[in-house]
Structure 1
Amino acid sequence: MAGPARLCVTNQKGGVGKTTVAVNLAGALNELGHDVLFVDLDPQGNATEGLGLLEAYDAEPPSLLDALIDPTGVSPEDIVYSHAEMDVVVSNIDMNAAASALAQESGPETRLATLLDGIDGDYDYVVVDCPPHLGVLTDNALYATENIVIPALTEPTSKRSLELLFDYVGSLEMEHDLEIEPIALVANRIETTGEDEAMLAWFEEALPDVPIFRVRKRVALQRAFTAGTSVFEADEEIDMAEVFIDVAEQVEESMTDTEVLA
């Protein structure tokens, strides 16, 4: 039986709502009946906090960094926490030293893949939230998942950030003989302006084979994050929930060859 389908949510440009997209995509996959493992690979621990697990961020070792350095030497119970919607590999303050620590190891970009091979057998999907910059941690996410969901703002700076991302992905593919597939682009925090519409048109032209989903700016998304849940566990109805269901269904459709079990 094939393993779970893996994907990462990445954009090296900060402030694009990457973690919001990652958490709500994972929540949507859970809503569709899938067992989800969420991996917070961001040293800032925003997803760990946004899933109500902030205390784990300051927990004593062993931590996620220890598991990346020695993927077979750390028990899953030390880094995987339960949440109402998904299990979570939490980030930790130690992850701020990840770049320098992993640089001293052989095959530093392969450590997450090895770690997931040992812990993801009980899940249908693995969703990895990347840090907001390129480097060894993002390399780990791309290498381990080979599928990406890209959050982006509808503003001109997104053009350059997407160009840099795809150049970077192309280099990693060549170096490791991979095929990293863009599954979806989530245009985030859309407002009704001419600039937003122009950027949406640019996304469609630049990425003609990548489905584009529109998430409009909603305070309720932040309220769900503050409550430690996705929008699907929130105490209020949020109209953007349906968009995240659409993204999750696109993920299902794109990754059926991984034999995900509903």
Structure 2
Amino acid sequence: MPAKLAVSNQKGGVGKTTVAINVAGALNARGRDVLFVDLDPQGNASEGLGFREAYDAEPPSLFDVLTDPETRDAIGDLVREHPAMDVIPSNIDMTAAEPELTLSRRGGEQLALALEHVEDEYEYVIVDCPPHLGYLTDNALHATQNVLIPALAESTSKRALELLFDHIEALELDYDITVRERGVVANRVETTNEAREMLAWFGDAFPDVPIWEIRKRVALQRAFSAGVSLFEYEHDVDMTDEFLAIAASLDEQFDMPPLRSGAEAMG
């Protein structure tokens, strides 16, 4: 079984997709085989990984895989090759997924059932969640049962995280599962009093998980525009070290096998 991880925060504008792409890129840089699933109907990750045309592709798409059990095994046909990872892109039809999943008998389990057809080929499955709480996020959390939380170092993050954990608690009760927090990524950190106070708050609120700081860098947006992670765009940017630290911690937390020869140098 691969390690599976949802990257989730229902608060928009936190840089969730950028974090997800670069964590996946860091895992690949360490020698891991990664499948990236864009579960966001907006398709930002698909665009940020160079698959903008897939967003408008004809069926079957990820929408069909999630809403039609007879199409579920077609998930392998959706996989696109990227220099750093394999990608299952989002699709414009995903905007209609929420009501369809609401009516489904096992609406929160469809991604888990679909991934069974492809996941054994990978060491990691990274799922980029929508910026809201609903059935698509439920699918990501149920399929992975692990969550990495990007958050801004500002006071508005407190309420957003409270809502996320209330939702996770309800999901755990509904499905009799446990969703583990694997870390908090304080994103776009600037040198302000508010940021320092929030970083201290993160440490108090999450005493048992790692907290990483990603500072604002133009290269992150430029890499996104180029359809790659930092590791394919500009590897000497200082934030690559922080993303590699995230990847190394995930390897340790998931008790992953030793890295392939030569990959250790990247970590």
Specify if TM > 0.5. yes
Deviations 1:44-92 (A, max 9, x none): 0000000000000000000001011235524234311110000001000
Q: In 1, are the aligned partners of 2:61 and 2:91 still within 8 Å (CA)?
A: yes
Aligned equivalent of 1:120: 119
Give the match's secondary structure for 1:16.
coil
Q: In 2, are the aligned partners of 1:12 and 1:134 still within 8 Å (CA)?
A: yes
Give the counterpart letter for 2:175 in structure 1: H
Q: 1:261: how far off?
A: 7.4
Q: In 2, are the aligned partners of 1:152 and 1:186 still within 8 Å (CA)?
A: yes
Aligned equivalent of 1:158: 157
* Cα RMSD, aligned residues only: 1.4
Q: 1:235: how far off?
A: 4.1
Within-5 A mapping of 1:85-100: 85-100=84-99
Q: CA–CA distance in 2 between the matches of 1:71 and 1:26?
A: 28
Q: In 2, are the aligned partners of 1:184 and 1:250 still within 8 Å (CA)?
A: no
Does residue 35 in structure 1 map to residue 33 in structure 2?
yes
Q: Which moved more, 1:69-78 or 1:234-243?
A: 69-78
* Unaligned 5+ runs, structure 1: none
Deviations 1:200-225 (A, max 9, x none): 00000111111100000011100000
Deviations 1:175-229 (A, max 9, x none): 1111110001000000111110000000001111111000000111000000000
Q: In 2, are the aligned partners of 1:41 and 1:131 still within 8 Å (CA)?
A: yes
Q: CA–CA distance in 1 between the matches of 2:105 and 2:257?
A: 32
Q: In 1, are the aligned partners of 2:30 and 2:259 still within 8 Å (CA)?
A: no
Does residue 142 in structure 1 map to residue 104 in structure 2?
no
Give the counterpart letter for 1:38 in structure 2: F
Following superposition, which runs of at least 4 residues in structure 1 exceed 3 angstroms of deviation?
A: 258-262
Identity of aligned residues (%): 58
Aligned equivalent of 2:212: 213
* Unaligned 5+ runs, structure 2: 261-267
Give the match's secondary structure for 1:148.
strand
TM-score (norm 1): 0.96
Q: In 2, are the aligned partners of 1:63 and 1:78 still within 8 Å (CA)?
A: no
Aligned equivalent of 1:237: 236
* Equivalent of residue 64 in structure 1, options 62, 66, 69: 62
Give the match's secondary structure for 2:108.
helix
Q: CA–CA distance in 1 between the matches of 2:176 and 2:104?
A: 21
Aligned equivalent of 2:264: none
TM-score (norm 2): 0.94
Give the match's secondary structure for 1:75.
helix
